[in-house]
Amino acid sequence: MKIVVLGAGAWGTAVAMSAAQHPAGHQVTLWARNPAQASAMQTQHENAQYLPGMALPPALQVASGDPVTACHGADLAIVATPMAALRGMLTALQGLSMPVAWLCKGFESPTGAQAAAAGLLAHEVCAQVAPTLRSGVLSGPSFAQEVARNQPTALVAASEHASVREALVAAFHSPSVRVYANEDIVGVEVGGAVKNVLAIATGLCDGLALGLNARAALITRGLAEMTRLGLALGARPDTFMGLSGLGDLVLTGDLSRNRRVGMLLAQGHTLAQAVESLGHVAEGVYCARTVAQRAQALGVDMPITRAVVALLDGRLSPPEAVATLMGRDPATEFADRG
């Protein structure tokens, strides 16, 4: 296969590295928006900015310039931009005939004239700007560093189009990466988006040294929140017991940028300081408020998400955010609430 990965951040680079080492001998190009970054990767044979110390496979090509031109003749295009850049990239790619999939996890945060509108999931953005694309998402519990090292990883390829699911499996299923196909793109995207918000809350608990009991409770109740929102948007309940629900929540650990934000806030850093120290995008910061707004519009109760938003907005201190969650009234475990 000829595969183009559009976006040379940590995750895009890792995915391109994995595909370039596939036993099938894929022809893989990694496209970088910044020509200087592309030139440096070609010269240094590594992505020193986002995956320092990890050598790029010799077969991996690096390009810049027009992304549509980079996709010419490809069998599959992978969009590896942050959520904030997805709309623009899909608009540019709207005339492509090959399958297109994205890697970002989140709800789009409306801006400008659309600021009052509900934030959209990636497939909803695609339906607006590129409705004829055969599209989908590659998601699941995965850290870029581990995929780049060919450590065992399981991902999920979700799309309503069988041809997109099949292309993603053919591109990435390998001895080190197992790819499961799923038709429920709504559930997979909701899982990935809400997980990023819950990871901030997990980091808050870890940063305050609240213990493993609190962490387990947070993850379990977070899964309930995630599922409620997904069902309200039309997802299947079983999706949230899979890779993009429970799997993504379990992964939240030392390599998680969103968890790191929560830990830094717990240690007294401002949000600006926490985000600046990462050097990468933390999608949970970008989409937390949008998740809460979408849930409110649907009448879905998401108390952990609301507490994270209040924390990010500075309306609650870290201890107050925890107190807000622990101070909720008693409830039956499986009642439709948090």
Catalytic residues: 195
pLDDT of residue 117: 64
Q: How far is CA 92 from CA 164, 242, 254, in A?
A: 19, 32, 36
Q: Tell me: the pLDDT tens digits for 231-254?
A: 999 999 999 999 999 999 999 878
CA 165 to chain centroid = 18
Alpha carbon distance 197, 123 (integer Å)? 19
Judged by average pLDDT, the poorest of 82-86, 177-181, 213-217, 333-337 is 333-337
CB 153 within 8 A of CB 176: yes
Alpha carbon distance 271, 331 (integer Å)? 33
Mean of pLDDT values over 114-124:
80
CB 168 within 8 A of CB 142: no
pLDDT of residue 56: 98
Alpha carbon distance 66, 99 (integer Å)? 18
Mean of pLDDT values over 132-141:
97
CB 283 within 8 A of CB 104: yes
Mean of pLDDT values over 178-183:
98
Q: Tell me: the pLDDT tens digits for 143-161?
A: 999 999 999 999 999 999 9
Return the number of other C-beta atoms located less than 10 Å from residue 327's C-beta: 8
Name residue, tokens 């399981």: 154
Is pLDDT of 28 > 90?
yes
Give me 211's structure tokens: 């213990």
Q: Tell me: the pLDDT tens digits for 64-93?
A: 999 999 999 999 999 999 999 999 999 999
pLDDT of residue 332: 72
Mean of pLDDT values over 14-32:
98
Tell if the pTM clears 0.75, that is, is over it. yes
pLDDT of residue 157: 98
CB neighbours of 152 closer than 8 A, spacing ≥ 6? 176, 177, 178
79, β-bridge pairs = 6, 102
CB 192 within 8 A of CB 248: yes
From 118, 301, 309, select the one nearest 200 (Cα to Cα).
Answer: 309
AA identity, residue 104: C
Q: Tell me: the pLDDT tens digits for 220-232?
A: 999 999 999 999 9
What's the CA angle centered on 138, arms 136 and 10, to 5 degrees? 130
